[in-house]
Amino acid sequence: MTEGPLSAALLGAGMISLYHLRAWRAMGVPVTAVCDPDRARAEERAREFGVDRIYTDAADLFEDGGFELADIAASVEAHDPLTRLAADHGVHVMLQKPMTRSVAEAEALVDYVGERVRFMVHENYRFRPHYMTVRRWIDEGRIGRPRHAAITVRGSGLCPRPDGEPFLVERQPYLRQFDRNLVFETMIHHLDVLRLLVGPLQVVAARLNRLAEGLPGEDTASILLAGSAGLIATADGCICAPGYPQLHGDRLEVVGTEGTVVMDYNRVFLVGDEENAVEVDLLGRYQECFDHAVGDFIVGVRDGTPFETDRLDNLETLRLMESVYAAAGVEAAP
């Protein structure tokens, strides 16, 4: 429980920080400082959102203090040192997924932070409106008890384009060197959602493939998972699938004792009752998941209630992600 008014500092002023800052504003909690090693980037975000204090060095930021919350939206390599700094200064942490490169690093980080500050992971798919609809329908008992599941991720972001590089490479040039593309970057969301909807899961087997030319990371993955009471699930992704939108979309199906729910891109329906499908404006409502995540963090810090995506819960998702690479025969990260 944290008394008094709250304020936050943002660490990492990249593309995604825009949505983070909007969410803090929507939740009425002031962001009083922005920190990024790239000063121009930090300044731009600060100006946009009327933030006075700008830092390029996180040590200086925490030394000066004056905020109770840290929103760490930096790149994954910076997650561990920034979270440690925050904890050492008694600042509560909301950390962008994935926590760290590996489960071992994340476990060490969670240990280091201990119970000194509240520590949640920013995992936005649970809070995306189409996924929240599926979850609410399951919670309402519309399909009974979930017993079988399948999730599919499809996009064309890595397909060749006549007029230049693939869309995702142009947008995220680091993919040219990045060895863990689809599962680490994207399908970790889907593994998290599956866990949430059908309970604990283990990876039985996985295969990865590279369909895009010249990139070191996988763009295609098929994963077989097992849960409790014999439950089985599949997670199948391909972001080099011609015809699909460049940004991936998902298809999710959960078979329950009483019904089957399907989320097909932006439509959620009970199988056999398709005419009563709910449609979600995915782009128009993209900001919502950030608002929910930030709102959940604020409530948790204020009231001491558990976070929806607590570090310990998220560790399970990270374990699942890591075991996909292990099952696929990919060496652990150095």
Distances (CA, A) of 117 to 10, 60, 69, 92, 230: 17, 20, 10, 5, 38
Rounded least distance, CB 157 to a copy of itself, Å: 13
Query: According to DSSP H, which parts of the chain are helical?
Result: 17-26, 39-48, 58-64, 79-88, 103-113, 129-139, 167-171, 188-198, 288-303, 311-327
Angle subtended at Cα 100 by Cα 94 and Cα 106, rounded to the nearest 5 degrees: 85
Rounded least distance, CB 172 to a copy of itself, Å: 21
> Contact 229/274 with Cβ under 8 angstroms?
no
> Contact 231/199 with Cβ under 8 angstroms?
yes
Rounded least distance, CB 277 to a copy of itself, Å: 13
What phi and psi, each to the nearest 5 degrees, are found at residue 8? Answer: -130, 160
DSSP 186: I
CA-to-CA distance for 155 and 132, rounded, in angstroms?
22
Q: Tell me which of 60, 64, 258, 279 binds a copy of itself, using CB under 8 A.
A: 258
**Closer residue to a copy of itself in complex, CB, 99/221:** 221
> Does 162 engage in binding with a copy of itself (CB under 8 A)?
no
The residue range among 14-22, 59-67, 242-250, 308-316 that interacts with a copy of itself, by the rule CB under 8 A, is: 242-250
> Does 198 engage in binding with a copy of itself (CB under 8 A)?
no
The residue range among 10-18, 51-59, 199-207, 298-306 that interacts with a copy of itself, by the rule CB under 8 A, is: 199-207
**Closer residue to a copy of itself in complex, CB, 14/249:** 249
Q: What is the largest CA-CA distance in the chain?
A: 59
Whether the CA torsion 117, 128, 10, 39 is positive or negative: it is: positive
Rounded least distance, CB 129 to a copy of itself, Å: 23
Q: Tell me which of 92, 101, 154, 189 binds a copy of itself, using CB under 8 A.
A: 154
Question: Across 125-164, where does the E strand assignment appear?
Answer: 146-154
Site track for a copy of itself across 61-100, x = CB under 8 A: ----------------------------------------
Whether the CA torsion 11, 12, 18, 23 is positive or negative: it is: negative
The residue range among 13-21, 124-132, 203-211, 276-284 that interacts with a copy of itself, by the rule CB under 8 A, is: 203-211
Place of tokens 């959960």: 254
Q: Tell me which of 26, 232, 282, 330 binds a copy of itself, using CB under 8 A.
A: 232
Question: Across 197-298, where does the E strand assignment appear?
Answer: 202-209, 220-226, 232-238, 249-256, 260-264, 267-270, 278-279
> Does 164 engage in binding with a copy of itself (CB under 8 A)?
no
> Does 209 engage in binding with a copy of itself (CB under 8 A)?
yes
Q: Tell me which of 129, 146, 157, 256 binds a copy of itself, using CB under 8 A.
A: 256
The residue range among 39-47, 70-78, 192-200, 230-238 that interacts with a copy of itself, by the rule CB under 8 A, is: 230-238
> Does 234 engage in binding with a copy of itself (CB under 8 A)?
yes
**Closer residue to a copy of itself in complex, CB, 75/257:** 257
Q: Tell me which of 14, 30, 81, 259 binds a copy of itself, using CB under 8 A.
A: 259
Tokens found for residue 127? 């809070």
Q: Which residues bind a copy of itself (CB under 8 A)?
A: 143-144, 147-148, 150, 152, 154, 204-211, 220-224, 226, 230-234, 236, 238, 240-244, 253, 255-260, 270-273
